[in-house]
Structure 1
Amino acid sequence: MPDPAPFLAVTDLRGRTLSASELTAALPRAELDVESAARAVRPVVEDVAARGADAVLDASERFDGVRPEHLRVPQAELDRALDELDPQIRDALEQSAARVRAVDGAQQRPEETVQVVPGGTVSQRWVPVRRVGLYVPGGRAVLPSSVVMNVVPAQVAGVGEIVLASPPQKEFGGLPHPTILAACALLGVTEVIAAGGAQAVALLAHGAEDVDGDGPLTPVDLVTGPGNVYVVAAKRLVRGTVGIDAEAGPTEIAILADRAAEPAYLAADLISQAEHDPAAASILVTDAPELVGAVEAELARQVPLALHRERIEQALRGPQSGAVLVEDIGRGLEVVDAYGAEHLEIHTADAAEVAARVTNAGAVFVGPHSPVSLGDYAAGSNHVLPTGGSSRYSGGLGVQTFLRGIHVVDYDRDALATARPAATTLAAAEGLPAHGTAIDIRFER
């Protein structure tokens, strides 16, 4: 019988001189065809905008196999889910929320005032978004941790109205999973919607009347949270009607490691992300060819023992996963910055120093005792992070996601006089003389 195919295809970049674009193209990457998905879900989004709750329920029946009695989950169901929650899970959720809240509390931004000239100040106030819609998926896994990661920073930011949507579950009578409901109740979220997929995003963006006259489902100002490609596509379609946090694709882990790294740890961490989805990406970047072989041996040992073995094998052997060989750790840093992973682990000598040189990553996990799984649940960091290389220009979910900066300009007459020459000159240069007149008139009367 032939030996099984290796889990990680190897890309050897040693000795190759590549431009920035060539390097990016040479790396494994998950494909996310949002455009095709957007064409598929556009009718759903438009139907919800036109018909409201009935369209949401029709879509739920079609895609989730259940038609909820109500879109808004009754408070009694939230209370019951919390009462029946396993005490160990409740304790874990409380610990997770407390750690995230501690980190987020330090990210609150005070009002800042700069005296530009005597009598002239510009302040920046940070104002929370009025109403936000948080999406928590309910597909291959139940993710109460995503309730924590979405809700806590919104609460710390001071958001006044939080509504959370999660798919209805046929086995729970059209309600979201009870653990999701319990996490909402634990965190004090009282407005929970039994809707998933593109129809949930459309409902959050456009609002509707609930069935049987149960009151309005008011549109939100911002939609956040992870989801599959159809959720991502729906967020793209409603952007502009509402704000969105990001277009998040399949989860990613990249590991930068040298020969001293522990292969068993690396294999376990690669598997942990592959467990999410057959399209999940697991990347090992190293200057030690022998480490690739050692990690392969560990994968061969650990994968057959995993609960989701088939899914993991698909992810690890997919074109989005692999091992990348480089000359040294400096070159490895260039590779991981080009990749811009959602999660980046550093398993090298002087890991903290190497981590400090990273410029593109959703979150960086330093050393052998900071696995991505820690960040998923209990580090205090947020696990809603940019994917697909978007860490080049965006960051993870946090307090800042739910805040808007508003400049407040306060000049007296003397301060305006100091700015008058520059302002009127630029107004004339731009062919907008009325702008200059609006300043001059204050000195001519």
Structure 2
Amino acid sequence: MSAPTVFVARLAGSGVFDPAGERIGKVRDVVTVPRTAASPRVVGLVVEDRGRARVFLSIGRVLSIGGGQLIASAISDRRFRQRGGERLLLADVLGRTVTLRDGSTAVLEDLSIAERGPGEWEVDELFLRKPKVGPFGKGPTTLARWNDVRHEPDADHDTDHLLASLEELPAADAASAMLDLPEQRMMEVAEDLSDDRLADILEEMNEDRQVQILNGLEDIRAADVLDQMEPDDAADLVAHMTTERAETLLELMDPDEAEDVRMLLAFGADTAGGLMTTEPIILASDGTVAEALALMRRHEVAPALAAAICVTLPPYEAPTGRYLGMVHFQRLLRYPPNERVGTLLDEQIEPVLTSDTAAEVTRQMAAYNLVSVPVVDTAGRLVGVVTIDDVLDHLLPADWRTQEEPQRG
């Protein structure tokens, strides 16, 4: 089945509905950020809500687009404010003149966006109109890809180039690049990055820098960034804020995300509960190998979490029903797609309790060469997993991210 493709000019004015079918606004524009060697990435939409205010809708909250309407899980009440690296496709891009590979020019009359993966949209094709050849009618039209035409630079070219570079770098390298900037410039770049990209980068910084950057953002923007972070990283960051600021941001966060963060904050930092993440891959015992591998392939799943699945009784979101066991990726590869995962449980791996110390968790992971270990409460319900990167972050000195690499002989 081909990925959905949507033409932006037709999307403008489309109704936005919640999953229950209630109209919550209409689309006014599409927000993108540039990338150095690829088409711009769609990060969200400008939506006019029922109060006629223009607010930002993250593309990750869009459930479907089609039939002249859009369904979204929720829209923010944060007023939309265009950042330096962002481009509005209707307001800033349509109507521009571009140069084709053969040297001819054309006007960009429309363009399409396409979904490349769950929640990942990018500019697809450009609908171009060439100059008319006679005194009557319109010029011929043609389709082209974004990188098949030359776009004239604008006044924000330098900022766009920096932001595009940060979008392409691994998060750890992007964090280092930001920290090398002058403080004011660093804060300006943080303002201009998309919520999910800033979240990825913050996760690679030490707590002092995280707090500094988040405290420089408006409350609603800071809460949106926390929503995009892994719950354990968000909890670590919130724990380093003042009580008043932390509570303000938790109230503004998505309720489900905030609930996970509050739960993690209740555990000591030196315990399995304090180290764990609350979003492991969970499957029923009658789930198949094919289903398990499909869950592992999701782009948003971190590599350490994709190394194994946890099998439980219902419900299948933490805290789950009774924990049954774990199945590792390599074991799944050895069995046919229709094999039930309940028959493949690794009986050697015992879960740890939320109250177990970090030292106990580390010893178990080292003894069994584990990438992750399940964490249960006293009732035997799965509440999360501790991954190898969680343990390393705990064992390494607090300033390990800023220490210079030793010279090689």
TM-score of the pair, normalised by structure 2: 0.27
Larger helix proportion of the pair: 1
Instruction: Name which one, 1 or 2, has greater alpha-carbon Rg.
Output: 1
Larger strand proportion of the pair: 2
Higher relative contact order (CA 8 A, sep 6+): 1
